[in-house]
Amino acid sequence: MKYFLNLLSSIVLFILLAQVGRSAELAGIEIDCHKYYDTVTINTSEYIKPKVMLLDNPSRLVVDLTGIKIKTKTFPKIKSKRITKVRTGSSTRIVFDLAYSVDYEEASIFGQNKVVIEVRDKSRPYVHNLQEEPAADPVAPVMEVKKVAPQIVRVERVVVREEVESDNGRGGSQTRPYSKVLKGKIIVIDPGHGGADPGAFGIGGLVEKNLTLKTANYLVEFLKQQGATVYLTRKKNVKIDLAEVTAFTNRIDADIYVGLHYNATYNSRMNGTETYYYTARSLKLAEIMHKNLREKLGRRDNGVRRAKLYTVHHALMPAVIVEPCYLTNPEEANLAASDRFLKKVAAAVSDGIKEYFNGGNRKDTKVKH
């Protein structure tokens, strides 16, 4: 009997140790400080579902990362108007002490093991008017985020069609038809997720990686028809490392990068279209892209948002990520289940790209020779 108990306790201990060994870790926290809001990005080694709460007396935002091991006890100081201090509350809780009471919006980035919390001033409207503030705010990293070293690129090339328009020798100005605006432009289309990384799961069995690929295929056709040189980061259900995508995009010196994603959250009422960018050079593309998505899809306008997502952060050219709708919202999941809607998304993105390269208008333009 004693032997049996010893054996049993050994098994229990082994299971406990296995649990400890498996627990996810906090990989880093970044805080981007803005005039009206701060973006807090919490990176973890595995996907987790955090619990975010605002508490009073004193004002603080707490984030419970259940199942996460927080090893760090102290966090360096940050330069934010509203977040005065970052500290640990308990073994799984991070506390953001606040200078005054705020609003917040939380978004888990599926497949990227990160939680993005926008902490914003109460007087600030929900949709940002990003033109009011400088896009290239200084970044205040709190902890280093683990970075993946770029490797050999496995990105597949779809088509190359570089047609240089013949010089008519007359000089002066000439009309460039709006339909020809994409000729020779190098565009990288990146259907989010793939392979072992499914991205978001939506209502009715929707899987983000499949929808992004379908949308990308429609989009490539639209862009090819207009003479663009298009690179698709994946043609199949495979996972391509984000660092590889970015390294490739930078190496070929693409004109723009467009990442395709579909959104998801735990709140099924959340719906609408968002467009993400990070660098100042990407803001114009983000705004024009967002306008086209809003007009053509007619979903709720969640605004153009600045977030430090890997590809848009590291791209050296204008780079955006589109999130046309929420797969976790019944109405939008129903839409996203139809190829017709995905094609509509592709058409909106294609129109956005076209308008961007035409300087933000939809007419034929005079070009100087």
* Cross-strand bridge partners of residue 39: 32, 118
Tokens of 98: 């606040």
Q: In this complex, which beta carbon is closest to Zn ion, that of residue 60 or of residue 261?
A: 261
Q: Kindly state the smallest distance separating residue 199's Cβ from Zn ion, in Å.
A: 4
Q: Kindly state the smallest distance separating residue 276's Cβ from Zn ion, in Å.
A: 10
For 85-145, the DSSP string reads: EEEEEETTEEEEEESS--EEEEEEETTTTEEEEEEE-TTS-SS--GGGS-SSPPEEESSPP
Q: Minimal CB distance to Zn ion: which residue?
A: 261
* 191 belongs to the binding site for Zn ion (CB under 5 A): no
Query: Quick one: which segment of 100-108, 194-202, 252-260, 298-306 binds Zn ion (CB under 5 A)?
Result: 194-202
CA distance 274 to 341: 16
- Binding to Zn ion by CB under 5 A, coded x per residue (else -) over 329-358, reads ------------------------------
Among 28, 199, 303, 318, binds Zn ion (CB under 5 A): 199
Q: In this complex, which beta carbon is closest to Zn ion, that of residue 226 or of residue 271?
A: 271
Q: In this complex, which beta carbon is closest to Zn ion, that of residue 67 or of residue 198?
A: 198
Q: What is the rounded (10 degree) CA torsion for 241, 277, 221, 214?
A: 60
Antiparallel, parallel or unpaired: β 186-191 and 256-260: parallel
Query: Quick one: which segment of 10-18, 189-197, 222-230, 353-361 binds Zn ion (CB under 5 A)?
Result: 189-197
Nearest partner of 213 among 229, 227, 199, 223, judged by Cα: 199
Q: In this complex, which beta carbon is closest to Zn ion, that of residue 263 or of residue 279?
A: 263
Tokens of 247: 């390294």
Q: Kindly state the smallest distance separating residue 267's Cβ from Zn ion, in Å.
A: 17
Query: Quick one: which segment of 28-36, 144-152, 154-162, 253-261 binds Zn ion (CB under 5 A)?
Result: 253-261
Q: In this complex, which beta carbon is closest to Zn ion, that of residue 223 or of residue 309?
A: 309
Q: In this complex, which beta carbon is closest to Zn ion, that of residue 81 or of residue 235?
A: 235
For 47-91, the DSSP string reads: ----EEEEETTTTEEEEE-TTEE----B------SSEEEEEEEET
Report whether 263 contacts 327 (CB < 8 A): yes
Query: Quick one: which segment of 5-13, 46-54, 257-265, 305-313 binds Zn ion (CB under 5 A)?
Result: 257-265
Q: Kindly state the smallest distance separating residue 111's Cβ from Zn ion, in Å.
A: 6
Tell me if the bond preceding 330 is cis, omega within 30° of 0: no
Antiparallel, parallel or unpaired: β 114-120 and 273-277: unpaired
* 192 belongs to the binding site for Zn ion (CB under 5 A): yes
* Residue 367: C-alpha distances to residues 172, 173, 176, 216 (Å): 8, 5, 6, 31
- Specify the DSSP element, H or E, that contains 158: strand 156-159
* 209 belongs to the binding site for Zn ion (CB under 5 A): no
Q: In this complex, which beta carbon is closest to Zn ion, that of residue 199 or of residue 318?
A: 199
Q: Helix 339-357 to helix 208-225 angle, to the nearest 10 degrees?
A: 50
* 194 belongs to the binding site for Zn ion (CB under 5 A): no
- Measure the CA angle with vertex 274, ends 131 and 217; round to 5°: 120
Q: In this complex, which beta carbon is closest to Zn ion, that of residue 92 or of residue 263?
A: 263
* 261 belongs to the binding site for Zn ion (CB under 5 A): yes
Q: If binding means CB under 5 A, how many residues of this protein chain bind Zn ion?
A: 3
Tokens of 360: 């933000």
Q: Kindly state the smallest distance separating residue 281's Cβ from Zn ion, in Å.
A: 23
Q: In this complex, which beta carbon is closest to Zn ion, that of residue 142 or of residue 242?
A: 242
Binding site for Zn ion (CB under 5 A): 192, 199, 261
